Amino acid sequence: MRRTTAKLADGREIIYFDDTEDAPARTAVDTRDLPEQKPSSEIRRDPLTGEWVAMASHRQTRTYKPPADLCPLCPTTPGRPTEIPESSYDVAVFENRFPSLSQHVPPVPSTVDGLPMAERRPGYGRCEVVCFTSDHNSAFAALTPGRVRTVVDAWADRSAELGALPGVEQVFCFENRGEEIGVTLHHPHGQIYAYPFVTPRTERMLATAKEYRAQHGTHVLGDVIEAELAQRARLVATTEHWVALVPPAARWPVEVILAPRSQCADIPELTPAQRDDFALLYLDVLARLDRLYDRPLPYIAAWNQGPVHAPKELSWLHLQVFSVLRTADKLKYLAGSESGMAVWINDATPEQIAERLRAAGS
């Protein structure tokens, strides 16, 4: 794979990851006349829950559902420059033009006016866009295993580099797919957030892993994987280095976890063999998801990586893939119990979900 870095017209970084043998040198120049970026993100700590909330009012003007011929993630063509100056690309990563978090945010007061218990900080961090392919009409599920491997290498590269930035505590790679999820750009792409705090979900998982290790001397996810491989009721598919299973307390009507059989804390720690093997399993799982309702399934694919400064033994890398679609034409809405109290109610059991996904195999 060849890695090339360049700058966009407003100074943002763009990085090309090429696996095509005869890919041209990435020398194209961004000819757009872009205004200077002035992100105004901040984060505030909820005094009742202790959780950080990001606020980025400048994102109200971001691109919203453009027609295909105006897609900003497609390659540049004569007379129509885009976010990617090249006329073609394999995988491209660039700084988000409308970031929720940025390295260039102004200072803010340390607390909310009149509320000394409500802490306030600049929304420091970084947000990047990952374009999986230059083909606007494709999808992650349509990539070749080799291209998926390139994407994994790009995730690893960015996770390591963003995690080394001062003030970054956690790196989150994810993909949103489908309008039901809230996608406003249909070109196959994902995003990466570098947070200045550890996210609430990760804090909870670290606390649980620490308590479990103190009691049993092992990692809870490792023991779950071992038990599921023996019991198989919630197992979806396996490969030499990975397992795909429905979590035993699944929240979503469709939910799968992909995890390596051996513990590693983050994507950069994956070996070449694990990266190749992941590509095979993930493409298998995505094909099953699309066969569930004979339509492209809207989903969120969320990488759970260990925070930058957390003990490595408490984190076990895994990808959580879930959908809001509970039937071919019905959505699961987060209503009173889920949204108000964070108590989830699922209309299907994990065993039923796993059985359907196994049946959807080729």
Whether residue 238 sits in one domain with residue 187: no
Residue 65, pLDDT score: 63
User: Residue ranges for the binding site for Zn(2+)?
Assistant: 71, 74, 136, 187
Residue 199 has pLDDT above 60, yes or no: yes
Is residue 79 domain-shared with residue 193, that is, in the same domain? yes
The one catalytic residue among 189, 219, 241, 318? 189
Last residue of a domain, one of 197, 232, 256: 197
The confidence score (pLDDT) of residue 18 equals 98
The answer to whether 104 is a known catalytic residue is: no
CA 189 to CA 349: how far, in whole Å?
31
pTM over 0.85: yes
Q: What is the pLDDT of residues 207-237, one digit of tens each?
A: 999 999 999 999 999 999 999 999 999 999 9
Among 149, 177, 197, residue at a domain's last position: 197
Residues 288 and 313 in one domain: yes
Q: Residues 58, 190: one domain?
A: yes
pLDDT for residue 88: 96
Q: Are residues 282 and 347 both part of a single domain?
A: yes
* Residue-range definition of the domain harbouring residue 312: 201-359
pLDDT of residue 39: 84
- Same domain for 97 and 172, yes or no, is yes
State the DSSP string of 80-101.
B--SB-SS--SEEEEE-SS-SS
Per the annotation, binding residues are 71, 74, 136, 187
Mean pLDDT (whole number) for 86-108: 95
Both ends of the chain: CA-CA distance in Å? 31
190 and 339 housed in the same domain: no
Q: What is the CATH number of the domain that holds 257?
A: 3.30.428.10
The helices-and-strands tally (H runs, E runs) of the chain is 6, 17
Total domains in the fold of the chain: 2
Q: 107 and 123: one domain? A: yes
**Percent of the chain at pLDDT above 90?**
90
Give the DSSP letter of residue 77. Answer: B
Tell whether the model's pLDDT for residue 87 goes beyond 90.
yes
Q: Is the pLDDT of residue 128 over 90?
A: yes
pLDDT attached to residue 67? 76
Q: Are residues 169 and 218 both part of a single domain?
A: no
Of 197, 223, 253, the last residue of a domain is 197
**Averaged pLDDT of the chain:** 95
Alpha-carbon torsion 19, 154, 177, 299, what sign?
positive
